[in-house]
Amino acid sequence: MPQAPKLAPTLGELLQERGVSRRAFLKYASYLSAVMALPAGSASALAEGLANARRQSVIWLSFQECTGCTESLTRSFSPTLESLIFDLISLDYHHTLQAASGEAAEKAREAAMAENKGKYVVVVDGAVPTKDGGLYSTIAGVSNLDMLKATAKDAMAVIAVGTCAAFGGIPKARPNPTGAAAIDEIITDKPIINIPGCPPIPEAMAGVVSYLVSFVKLPELDHLRRPKAFFGETIHDRCYRRPFYERGLFAEGFDDAGARQGWCLYKVGCKGPVTYNACATLKWNGGVSFPIQSGHGCLGCSEPDFWDQGGFYRPLSTNLRDMGPALAGAALAGAALGAGAAWASRRHQESYQREQNPNEGDKK
């Protein structure tokens, strides 16, 4: 009698094998539900969904990037349940983490695509060069542009990890010599989730993957396709230095008395008021700190074109362009116009007076 094909173990079974207790697993599911602001009762649904999910095939494509996103996810702090979740997904292709290389690696990607057609998730970090047919970055002789299109074709969803994949990031910074583009500029027919940040917060990544695996649907996204749970509020709104902003107490430099007293960093260029991210609440390295707590203003790294906002140390309320010469020219032109208008008016008045008193000159 032929044997039924053995199903891959569920995440719950795998976690159990690794010695993760049910209590710890439920605690983790509750934590994820809380950080994603899911409704009450979702924790058990999330836990159940995760526990029963089979290993999700994930193809991770790295394009124009610095590997900081992967570093953030794998080395931030360990061991954690997040890292276990990542261990337990079927990461079928990832340059940095996979053992295979060369043709074997590419074959693994193609095999995963064929076996999981329509079901696998594509994670992308890095922007995609599009100029000159995308020749500025190739893998195994295939341009990033072609590889992305081919891989995303049969994917269930695409997750753009990091600001380079989500918005073009640093590769797209002016003058953008490679024509770097964000993933959603190229892939337009698949569900896309952006998890920006330079790098993104590991919990945001883990939360989104867990949500996707558990509920098989996208979490609620904002207009930039970012999960609202992590990108729903500005850094400024949640910043512990906010009261200093309201009181008008600002650090003027990075080593002055205000900086030492932990005052607001708005004047030294903090972009917290226009940056949507969870750094101020989730923080980094297991909740130890985040840039503002460490004394540096927010760079706005989870926002589009953060690299081209006039400078990291330029306050948000200042203009983006150098206006000095233009304004000096305008003042000179205005003065010349004014002088010309006054001269014309004087001429007109004199001529009018001559008309009114034609003999005035004779009397004198």
Partner 1 sequence: MTLLEFARGPALQVAMIIFVLGATWRFFGALLLPWRLAPAEPRKGALSPIAAAFKGVVVKMWPHKPFQKAGMFTFVNGYILHFGLAIVVFLFAPHILFIKGLTGLSWPALPNNLVYTVGVVTMASLVAGLVHRLRSPVLRLISRFDDYLSWLLTLLPVLTGLLAAAHLGARYETLLAVHILSICTFLIWFPFGKLMHAFMFVFSRAMTGVRMGQRGAEL
Q: Is residue 343 at the binding interface for partner 1, with CB under 8 A as the rule? A: yes
Contact between 172 and 143 under an 8 Å Cβ cutoff? The reply is no
Q: Which stretch binds partner 1 (CB under 8 A): 65-73, 118-126, 190-198, 328-336?
A: 328-336
Q: What is the closest distance, in whole angstroms, from the C-beta atom of residue 117 to partner 1 in the complex?
A: 38
Instruction: Identify the residue among 68, 191, 295, 315 touching partner 1 (CB under 8 A).
Output: 315
CA 225 from chain centre, in angstroms, equals 10
Contact letters for partner 1, residues 186-225 (x by CB under 8 A): ----------------------------------------
Q: Is residue 356 at the binding interface for partner 1, with CB under 8 A as the rule? A: no
Task: Please count the other Cβ atoms lying within 10 Å of the Cβ belonging to residue 41.
Answer: 9
Contact between 81 and 46 under an 8 Å Cβ cutoff? The reply is no
Q: What is the closest distance, in whole angstroms, from the C-beta atom of residue 35 to partner 1 in the complex?
A: 21
Q: What is the closest distance, in whole angstroms, from the C-beta atom of residue 334 to partner 1 in the complex?
A: 3
Q: Which stretch binds partner 1 (CB under 8 A): 14-22, 119-127, 280-288, 321-329?
A: 321-329
Reading the block at residue 15, the tokens are 């976690």
Contact letters for partner 1, residues 228-267 (x by CB under 8 A): ------x-xx-------xxxx-x---------------xx
Contact between 32 and 206 under an 8 Å Cβ cutoff? The reply is yes
Q: Which stretch binds partner 1 (CB under 8 A): 148-156, 184-192, 278-286, 301-309?
A: 301-309
Q: What is the closest distance, in whole angstroms, from the C-beta atom of residue 277 to partner 1 in the complex?
A: 13
Q: What is the closest distance, in whole angstroms, from the C-beta atom of residue 246 to partner 1 in the complex?
A: 5
Contact between 263 and 244 under an 8 Å Cβ cutoff? The reply is yes
Burial of residue 37 (number of CB atoms within 10 Å: 0-12, 13-18, 19+): middle
Q: What is the closest distance, in whole angstroms, from the C-beta atom of residue 333 to partner 1 in the complex?
A: 6
Cβ-based nearer residue to partner 1, 205 or 316? 316
Q: What is the closest distance, in whole angstroms, from the C-beta atom of residue 197 to partner 1 in the complex?
A: 17
Q: Is residue 174 at the binding interface for partner 1, with CB under 8 A as the rule? A: no
Q: Is residue 334 at the binding interface for partner 1, with CB under 8 A as the rule? A: yes
Task: Please count the other Cβ atoms lying within 10 Å of the Cβ belonging to residue 322.
Answer: 9
Q: Which stretch binds partner 1 (CB under 8 A): 87-95, 139-147, 211-219, 323-331?
A: 323-331
Q: Which stretch binds partner 1 (CB under 8 A): 45-53, 98-106, 169-177, 329-337?
A: 329-337
Q: What is the closest distance, in whole angstroms, from the C-beta atom of residue 270 to partner 1 in the complex?
A: 12
How far, in Å, CA of 137 to CA of 121, rounded? 22
Q: Which stretch binds partner 1 (CB under 8 A): 8-16, 278-286, 287-295, 320-328?
A: 320-328
Place of tokens 């380079």: 164
Please list every residue from 272 through 291 that binds partner 1, using CB under 8 A: 273-274
Q: Which spans of this chain sit near partner 1 (rule: CB under 8 A)?
A: 234, 236-237, 245-248, 250, 266-267, 273-274, 304-305, 309-310, 314-321, 323, 326-327, 330-331, 333-335, 337-339, 341-343, 345-346, 349
